[in-house]
Amino acid sequence: MMKNLKNYLSLLLLLVVWSASAQSVVLNPKREFRGVWIQTVNGQFRGVPTDTIKYRLIRQLDVLQKAGFNAIIFQVRPEADALYNSKIEPWSLFLTGVQGKVPQPYWDPMQFMIDACHERGMEFHAWINPYRVKTTLGHQLASNHIYYKHPEWFLTYGDQMFFNPGLPACRNYIYKVISDIVSRYDVDAIHMDDYFYPYPVSGKVLDDAIAYARYGKAFQNENDWRRANVDSLIEGIHNTVRKLKPWVKFGVSPFGIYRNQRTDPLGSRTKGLQCYDDLYADVLLWERKGWIDYNIPQLYWQIGHPVADYATLIDWWAKHTEGCPLFIGQSVMNTIEFADPENPSINQLPRKMALERAYQTIGGSCQWYAQVVEDNVGHYRDALTQTYFKYPAIVPAFRFMDKKSPKKVKKLKDVWTSDGLMLFWAAPKAKTEMDKAVQYVVYRFANHEHVDLDDPSHIVKITNMTSCKLPYQDGKTKYRYIVTSLDRLHNESKVVSEKVKL
């Protein structure tokens, strides 16, 4: 069986790279989630001057945009504190160096990133850590931290502090925080990573017995109760977001193993820590219930890993989407540090990308993490730019949230300006926010060329502007330009075209 699988993967990879036409179809889908995580808990901005942080972020976004990325997942709440102007929680230690200290000169990192991402045609996903309060007990909490008002809400475990997931009051507080973010900021999504109940620490016991005695009477055991607590949080976040802004997505990025086959016959052929049993995260239930809008399991291992083989896991998740959009969490460093098992002269990126795009249920990927992509470690970014992200991609449409397309653009025309020949159009009318056009796709075709909007090589630009500069030369060659509009959930309108001599 394994030998046949390896032969199949080898054949698949050969087919993928066989010809330029194959690359156009297989390697460059028109719709694909191309995300990347920007973490703040690593302290990269801690105490750094505001202008320096802004410069680094803009430089990073420019590099990522040029490389073909269309979504940024930015960490805004690492320790029940905020990298934004929160009305509820203190300014983050990971921004100013002291929790509660207002940044000087004043700025709002989340608003800054939302504006910068949208200007570049990228989604902004606000990444929060719901339960974590201290990454290490040595961190000092600000005097206005919720801990001092309700110390009974919190648990210490190992060298960290957490909200007690078993207390309804904690869940209600987290909903309040998310409501504040969604209502005041133009985020495209709320995102949570793999930190649900804390990762097990050898020799340590999570002391939530009092909460279990009070709230767990309906459950046969503590494990089922803990899972139900996380289920309630996920459902509550989903409902909170939907009620406020039905176009904002809610996604999670869980640990890469749901359950091992030795625990559950339906699990994967792996041997590692388990989401369901160790972190109390029943991701498949959330998918079935429609409580999450996308899933990005962290498949940070290499193909051939003895405990958690990447090929085994991507196959398992692809077959267990329960209808929920699935993107793959990729580790840049892991991918470039291990050789392709069938071709030791290259790293594993080609084979991983071939696997990812072989499954119809997989709609893209997210890279961990932005800095190593920017630094082009192992020429990883070069490979994305030149091959896998060669052409622009539109984020997949979330049609289960909204399947109505926006109206087409109006008054498309080319106009000479002081900046050269420009293509202008007007935004279509919209009755509701869900119908509103927020981006536009500009395509170009030769004069008599067949118009195929599914071919991303014809995409000139994906923009939130209502204009596009044209590459005028001598005015002797005819082209057909097509412009479509996209709504907040990436539904695409009908076309409007204009013939232009360049």
In the 3-class helix/strand/coil scheme, how is 51-71 assigned residue by residue? HHHHHHHHHHHHHHHHHCCCE
Query: Whole-model pTM above 0.85?
Result: yes
Q: Quick check: 259 and 304 in contact, CB under 8 A?
A: no
- Domain 410-501 sits in CATH 2.60.40.10: yes
Identify the band that residue 13 occupies on the pLDDT scale cut at 50, 70 and 90: very low
Identify the band that residue 270 occupies on the pLDDT scale cut at 50, 70 and 90: very high
Q: List, for residues 414-430, the tens digit of each pLDDT value.
A: 999 999 999 999 999 99
Identify the band that residue 47 occupies on the pLDDT scale cut at 50, 70 and 90: confident
> Which residues partner with 485 through β-bridges?
440
- Cα separation, 205 vs 298, whole angstroms: 26
* Longest pairwise C-alpha distance within the chain: 81
Q: How is the chain split into domains, by residue range?
A: 2-388, 410-501
Identity of residue 386: Q
- Cα separation, 289 vs 302, whole angstroms: 31
| Size (the chain), residues | 502
For 369-477, strand residue ranges (E) read 410-417, 420-426, 439-446, 459-463, 467-469
* Per-residue pLDDT at 184 exceeds 70: yes
Identity of residue 5: L
For the domain bounded by 2-388, which CATH number is listed?
A: 3.20.20.80
Q: Quick check: 302 and 335 in contact, CB under 8 A?
A: yes
* Per-residue pLDDT at 12 exceeds 80: no
Residue 502's H or E segment, with its range, is none
